[in-house]
Amino acid sequence: MHGGFIVNPLADIRGASRKESIESISDSTQRPISENSKGDQIMTGSLDRNRFGEGPSARSVWKASKDEATLSAIRVAGKDGKTEELESVKENSRPNTLDPSTENLSSSKSRHGSTVFWSVWTRAVDFLRTGDVDSAFVEVLCPGDDLLLIRLMNRTGPVLEHLSQGTIVEMLQTIMQFLMKQKYLDSIIPWIQQVVDLTASNGPDYLDLPPEAKKDTLSALQEAPSLRFMDASTRNTITQIASKLSTIWAADLPRSR
């Protein structure tokens, strides 16, 4: 996790039970996120709290406009924010050839990938600085790059209460995929725990999740503890979360036929 912790002004929006801190937005700038209510977030793409499921998703629109080479380059750049490591990746990715035109093409693609990564990250940070948390997460969800998303999740800490319904659903889907693959557990478990905290304190419908989204989330949480190689501590944590959410969401879950 990068940067230090600063007091989170967002905590006053929904009550004192919320977490009191949010990680700094960047290593060199520590501007507080302005106080915005959950309903005041500026949304981008086709996300709409009141019309869930309509229209193409932000992810699909973005993917249609980018080629696979660019996405691969973003993933390379996303492994670390250090310029020197990016330069090393560029050199190692060059083909073993004496053809200067091929080398120039490879170098050009690497530079383009670095530019795209920093462009996406910079826009996300700019959104955070203006208090538009939802747009920041939409920005990093669109490319579908795991490391870019985890980087932002670690920067802000759990902030589900400041996301739109569509963004929350996509975030939970992605987090559950990470859980089933046992990836980034230290980063995602606090977000899963926040689902319990918010719904326990404010009611089962606080996050405006559709019944199917609740069912899918709970199903993944109930299945995850049975996975091989999961350590006992993580298994117990996930089991407890699943049990609590099952009780909280019991009345809203679709009934099996």
Strand partners, 21: 7
Query: Do 173 and 151 lie in a common domain?
Result: no
Boundary residue ending a domain (156, 183, 210): 156
**pLDDT tens, 167-216?**
999 999 999 999 999 999 999 999 999 999 999 999 999 999 999 999 99
**pLDDT tens, 61-118?**
444 444 444 444 444 444 444 333 333 333 333 333 333 333 343 444 454 467 888 8
CB 216 within 8 A of CB 222: no
Extract the runs of DSSP E, i.e. beta strands, from the chain. Answer: 5-7, 21-23
- 28 lies in some domain: no
Q: Which domain holds residue 48?
A: 38-156
Q: Three-class SS of residue 22? A: strand
Query: Do 170 and 77 lie in a common domain?
Result: no
